[in-house]
Amino acid sequence: MKWLPVVLACLQLAEGAVRISLRKGLSIRDRMRAAGVLDDFLKHIKYDPVKKYQPSQGSVVREPITNHLDSSYFGEISIGEPPQKFLVLFDTGSSNLWVPSTDCQSPACFNHAKFQPSASATFTPRGQSYNVSYGSGSVTLVLGSDTLRIQSITVTEQELGLSQAEPTQPFYFAAFDGILGMAFPSLAMGGTATALGGMLEQNQLAEPVFSFHFSRVATGQSVTSWCSQGCQAIVDTGTFLLTVPQQYIESILEALGAQETSYGYAVDCSDTQSMPPLTFGIGGARLALSPSAYVLNSNGYCTLAIEATYLPSQDGQPLWILGNVFLKEYYTIFDMANSRVGFALSA
């Protein structure tokens, strides 16, 4: 396992299941203190540093995960008492937990499960409204709190958003109801507590360490100078494709022999076997994507699983997003306490 510095934390998906590992050894507080991130983390998750921390019993929680067209992966959670069930996208690119509400009048809410506050004996309205922005639009939410369950994990008084308005694209057509963000608390809009923070605060997890493993369905050897001045990358379960900074798209298309069409970047299916791998140098490790990973074949019409990233990272460097196309090839562990990520070849 190669450990590399990262910015995000995430959930563990393994062979179609969510697997939350409870680690032993040094306490989470000791490890986070040594890494210099304890104070900031506790500030965000409202964790009591004096409270004696006792991990919950057991080591692994498994939840079946649905693979929808190899483009989104989601599982079932419940909110409220008695439980109301929802399918949510476990998203390492965002931090907010939200589901549709019965107050939502957007068409996107009509064909999804909606939370009914009055039917839950443990729901508490908070009143605050805020917007969460995604690449395809913003969702308007009102804050509340209630009991969150993911299999045997139970978090009481978990803050969550109830959608009041959702954009039609992509949520009307989405096979999931809401989103459970797994990134750092500092990315949560509205200053809300994250689901991960709630799990840690209520002793449901031993450490804020999760990993993703998407089972497979299953440039060249030259080195570019594209990131000689630095690039940023997000490993994001909420993004399907590999997104490339706009300034590098033409070079990649030329190297791979692809043509831009109204249906994406097309390539000749018969050329797939001879196309070069895309290799990423991250923290001294070389992580390669073969053509079978980055070329999509739809009934004999082949396109690159690539799209352009138009926005820079927060520090202005070119931004790459390593989506599910990348995650299918590498078992990825995110260690929030030490701000690092580990990669290993997927089995």
146 labelled catalytic: no
d(CA 176, CA 51): 37
d(CA 151, CA 197): 17
d(CA 42, CA 325): 33
d(CA 263, CA 242): 16
**Of 146, 177, 236, 335, which one is the catalytic site residue?**
236
236 labelled catalytic: yes
Got the DSSP string for 127-165? EEEEEEEETTEEEEEEEEEEEEEETTEEEEEEEEEEEEE
What single-letter DSSP state applies at residue 192? P
What single-letter DSSP state applies at residue 289? E
Alpha helices of the chain — where are they, by DSSP H? Answer: 28-35, 38-45, 107-110, 168-171, 195-201, 246-256, 291-294, 324-327
**Of 70, 91, 177, 268, which one is the catalytic site residue?**
91
The catalytic residue positions are 91, 236
